[in-house]
Amino acid sequence: MRLVGLYIFLAVTIGLGLLFPDNYYVSVVGSTAFFHIILAVALNLFMGYAGQISLGHAAFFGIGAYTSAILTTRFNLNPFVAMSAGAMLTGALSTLLARPILKLKGHYLAMATLGLGIIVHIFLVQEEWLTGGPDGLSGIPPIKIASLVVDTDIQWYFILCAVSAMTIWISLNLMDSRMGRALRAIHGSEIAAEVLGIDTASAKAQVFVLSAVLTSIAGSLFVHQQAFISPDSCSFAFSVELVTMVVLGGLGSTFGAVFGAAILTFLPEFLVHFEELEVLLYGAILMCIMIFLPKGVFVSAVDGVMHLFQRRCVRDVGSS
Window 123 to 142, contacts with another protein (CB under 8 A): 123, 125-126, 128, 133-136, 138-139
Region 28-57 residues binding another protein, contact defined as CB under 8 A: 28-29, 32, 47, 51, 53
Site for another protein in 233-272 (CB under 8 A): 233, 236, 240, 243-244, 247-248, 251-252, 270-272
Q: Least separation, in Å, of the C-beta of 256 and another protein?
A: 12
Contact status: 19 vs another protein (CB under 8 A): no
Residue 88 as a binder of another protein (CB under 8 A): the answer is: no
* Residue type present at position 29: V
CA dihedral 56, 59, 64, 68 (to 10 degrees): 160
Provide the mask over 208-227, with x wherever binding to another protein is found by CB under 8 A and - wherever it is not: --x---------------xx
Which of 20, 80 has the CB closer to another protein? Answer: 20
**How many binding residues for another protein (CB under 8 A)?**
117
**Bridge partners (DSSP) listed for residue 148:** 145
111 binds another protein (CB under 8 A): yes
Q: Which of 14, 89, 104, 162 binds another protein (CB under 8 A)?
A: 104
Helix (H, G, I), strand (E, B) or coil at 144: strand
Burial 15-33 (b: 16+ CB within 10 A, else e): ebbeeeeeeeebbebbbbb
Q: Which of 198, 257, 258, 262 binds another protein (CB under 8 A)?
A: 198
The 141-180 contact track toward another protein, x by CB under 8 A, reads: ------------x----------------x--xx-xxxxx
3-state secondary structure of 149: strand
Cβ-in-10-Å burial (0-12, 13-18, 19+) of 305 comes to exposed
3-state secondary structure of 49: helix
In the bound complex, what is the minimum distance in angstroms from residue 295's beta carbon to another protein?
8
Q: How far is the CB of 76 from another protein (least distance, A)?
A: 18
16 binds another protein (CB under 8 A): no
End-to-end CA distance of the chain: 31
- Nearest 10 degrees: Cα torsion 236, 238, 243, 249: 160
HSE-CB of 95 using CA atoms within 13 angstroms: 7
96 binds another protein (CB under 8 A): no
Q: What is the DSSP string of 241-266?
A: HHHHHHHHH-TT-HHHHHHHHHHHHH
Binding region for another protein (CB under 8 A) out of 8-16, 25-33, 71-79, 80-88 = 25-33
